[in-house]
Amino acid sequence: MSPRRRSTGKPGLTPAKRRTFALVALLLPVVLLLAAEGVARLAGYGGYAPVLRKVGSVEGGTMVLADQAGAISYFFANPTRPGYNEQYQFIDPKPKGVFRVFIVGESAAKGFPQPRNLASSAFLQAMLSDAWPDRTVEVINLGTTAVASFPVLGMMREALAFEPDLIVIHTGHNEFFGAYGVNSIGSAGTRVWMLGATRFLRSLALVQWISKRTQAQDPLMNKTLMEIMVGQTRTAADDPVRTAAAGNLRSNLEKMLSLCRQHGVPAIVCTMPSNERDLYPIGEDGLDQLPAPDRESFADLLRQAERLLPTDPQSASVPLMEAVALLPEHARARFLLGTAWYSLGKTNEARGEFIAARDLDTMPWRATTLQQEAIRAAATSQAATVCDLESVFRAHSPGGCIGWELMDDHVHPTLRGQALMAEALVQTLQAMTGPVSISDSQRERIRPWQEYAAALGDNPYDRYGVDHTMWVLFKVPFMRERNAPGLRRLEQRTAEFEAGLSPELKTVIRDWQSEKPHAGGKRPITGMVARQFMREKRYAEALALFEIAQKSVPEYTSWHMEYVYFALVCREKLAGSLTEEERQLALREIEQGRFLLRRGFSETGFTERYTGRLHQLRGEWAEAIPFLNASRQKMGGFDLVAADQALFLSLVKTGRTAEARQLAKHGAANSGQYATFYQQMLALLDQGPVPPEGLPE
């Protein structure tokens, strides 16, 4: 007989209670995660900064800035070395009479490595302004370095909220290695839906909080962005990610064009030109497709061809054709064969080989034929307008093979290439209808590109700056190893320019080279050279460069205020006094400085410094004092000396000589290596009235 169970006197769980218990058990982790997410959001995490940010009220509406923080949010894989967009500002709502164009895309759309005043967007704005003199044309360039098409889609969504009259889409080169590219974020980059899922997950406050606390010190500080963005370094010709890259591009473009149509905004989508003739394939080819005995034979054929190619391209073509027959997927062999055909004047054959070499490149930094077809297919599916830049660039290249004439490197257009992009867009608008259309008579108002280049600020120093920037890029190991001729070309160009400089200007150039980029770019080389010209009292030359430097930096920045200030100083030196128009220019810049300070845009003290200096140019010595006092609280080194010199002058001019003397005494006693400057101030006080020009800055 089995033993009897003792009753506990407690009834068991009913089915309803068991279901409730199970539901609570399932929901508890969700509740805890939601609570953690809420706490992290209260701590300031979660979501993304917008690319287009409303920053404050100005005359006519609200100012909107194209903000770099929004673009940075797409670079979660390398947050300390992201790509950047340029800062542009505009008014919301759109003022009457304004024709607003947004350009969205990657670094080639941004205009890199040209300064912003010589980017295709600057040429386009100038050309459209001539074609439509009754309109105020705004071209807002949201081009961002190192982004694939998915971030471009996100940025364009934002742009649609600000009344665009036209959107130009220029993307396709970075589908492999750009932010959210197939080779940059692993398997998550090969499915369109996974791109969106990744973006959503990265927006969670809890994920951002964890990422912040697990982020290691940047081990890539001395590497270029190009090196950092490389994930998978070899992509074979038959690798499925090539199809995935083209599929992502097409899908994202179709979404962009569909959104434009829904908003009633005309859009132009561009094909992507690249350097075909003068840039060797960037990736390293493999020989694993060949049987072992054939590999050495193949290598011998290439060595023989490369030895013959510079002097006897006809003979070089023989081993090259043998090599291509052995291994048609070898990008370098195809490129060398194209070079041989080009040298022999067989440009059609050359172009075919160059395109094959580009498409087979195992490190695809240039849009392949698959991507070009994806662009055209997306435009066809959405009945959108195509600006065929690839065909236009070929039509303007010797033998239809794009090279150094129009490209600074693999994908970034030269100055002529930037202007050609704008010309092609104007030509595309001629074929469109409605308010965006350009008539033949309007087209006739557009001048030759060289005139626009001169008016926008083309100069030898920026040309050198472009060459030096490209030289740094070509020193990246995989570029240097596979494109040694390109590196030698840039070394020669930079050396020739530097040889013609004075020792003082060489020092300035070295300072510019060593300066780390800030907010996506270096300090303009033109502004640094202009300061040296000022020291040499070459005011007319300095003025010309300061006015170019103004155009190469955004308005509503301390950089812009600085260059306006020094340009006005040069004008005053040359003419003896400022005109009323120049005084009004100074006042406008002061208002920009005051706006920046109200909105908290000053960490360095330079906004306060140049607001004060501009007041001084207008003879408003007392008004300058609070700004100069505020600037010196944030500065050190020689920047503090310059601020103190300006403050000293205002104190003297307003009769506050005791305060001026105290400032100079304190500096002489406590500024170490800069004590001499403060001693000069004391000497000026002891000599009598301070001269009208004050102290040199």
The CATH number of whichever domain residue 374 belongs to comes to 3.40.50.1110
Q: Are residues 114 and 167 in the same domain?
A: yes
Q: What is the pLDDT of residue 561?
A: 97
Q: What are the residues whose beta carbons fall under 8 Å from the beta carbon of 554, sequence distance 6 or more? A: 86, 87, 88, 89, 116, 560
Q: Same domain for 149 and 247?
A: yes
Q: Is the pLDDT of residue 624 over 70?
A: yes
**56-78 mean pLDDT:** 88
Range 644-659 average pLDDT: 95
Are both 430 and 447 inside the same structural domain? Answer: yes
Tokens in use for 580? 């009323």
DSSP character string of 548-614: HHHHTS-SSSHHHHHHHHHHHHHHHHHHSS--HHHHHHHHHHHHHHHHHHHTT--SSSHHHHHHHHH
pLDDT at 637: 92
pLDDT of residue 164 exceeding 90:
yes
User: How confident is the model over 223-263, as pLDDT tens digits?
Assistant: 555 555 454 468 899 999 999 999 999 999 999 999 999 99
* pLDDT confidence band for 78 (50 / 70 / 90): low
Residue 635 falls within a domain, yes or no? no
Amino acid at 689: P
For 10, the token pair is: 């407690």
For residue 230 the two structure tokens come to 């490389």
| Lowest-confidence segment of 8-22, 51-65, 360-374, 548-562 by average pLDDT | 8-22
More confident residue, 515 or 73: 73
Question: Considering its fold, how many domains does the chain have in total?
Answer: 2
Average pLDDT over the chain, rounded to whole? 91
Mean pLDDT of all residues in 634-661: 94
**Would the pLDDT of 694 be above 60?**
no
Residue 377 shares a structural domain with residue 356: no
d(CA 416, CA 564): 28
Q: Are residue 124 and residue 199 in the same domain, yes or no?
A: yes
What pLDDT was estimated at residue 203?
Answer: 83
Backbone angles phi, psi at 76, to 5 degrees: -65, -25
Query: Do residues 394 and 295 touch, judged by C-beta distance below 8 A?
Result: no
Say if residues 106 and 272 touch (Cβ distance below 8 Å): no
Q: Between residues 410 and 221, which one has the greater pLDDT?
A: 410
pLDDT at 38: 79
Let me know whether 263 and 194 are in one domain. Answer: yes
User: Model confidence at 691, in pLDDT bands (50, 70, 90)?
Assistant: low
Say what the pLDDT of residue 46 is. 82
For residue range 527-554, what is the model confidence (pLDDT) as tens digits?
999 999 999 999 999 999 999 999 999 9
**pLDDT in the model for residue 147:** 94
pLDDT the model gives residue 194: 82
Quickly state the pLDDT bin for 212 (edges 50, 70, 90): confident
**Burial of 623 (C-beta count, 10 Å sphere; 0-12/13-18/19+):** middle
Same domain, 348 and 422: no
DSSP state of 147: B
Q: What pLDDT, on a 0 to 100 scale, did the predictor assign at position 210?
A: 80
Assess if residue 438 is contained within a domain. Answer: yes
Judgement on whether residues 304 and 437 belong to the same structural domain of the protein: no
Q: Is 167 helix (H, G, I), strand (E, B) or coil?
A: strand
Residue 199 in domain: yes
Give residue-wise pLDDT tens across range 473-501.
999 888 999 999 999 999 999 999 999 99
The rounded distance, in Å, linking the Cα atoms of 239 and 5 is 68
Beta pairing class for 166-170 and 267-270: parallel
pLDDT in tens, 264-274: 999 999 999 99
Residues 393 and 439 grouped into a single domain: yes
Q: What is the mean pLDDT of residues 363-380?
A: 97
Based on the fold, state whether residues 260 and 352 are members of the same structural domain.
no
In a domain, 261, yes or no: yes
Last-in-domain residue among 328, 360, 392? 360
- The predicted model gives 119-131 an average pLDDT of 98
In-domain check, residue 142: yes
Query: Is the pLDDT confidence value at 569 over 80?
Result: yes
Residues 413, 123: Cα–Cα separation, whole Å: 13
> What is the residue range of 133's domain?
97-204+241-276+369-455
The CATH code of the domain that includes 308 is 1.25.40.10
Could you tell me if residue 247 is inside a domain?
yes
Residue 20 has a pLDDT of: 76
Are residues 410 and 332 part of one domain?
no
Residue 162 falls inside a structural domain:
yes
> 413, 428, 455 — which closes off a domain?
455
Residue 641 falls within a domain, yes or no? no
Picking from 360, 380, 405, the residue at the C-terminal end of a domain is 360
**Tokens coding 314:** 């006809």
Q: What is the mean predicted confidence (pLDDT) over 316-340?
A: 97
Please tell me whether residues 162 and 197 are part of one structural domain: yes
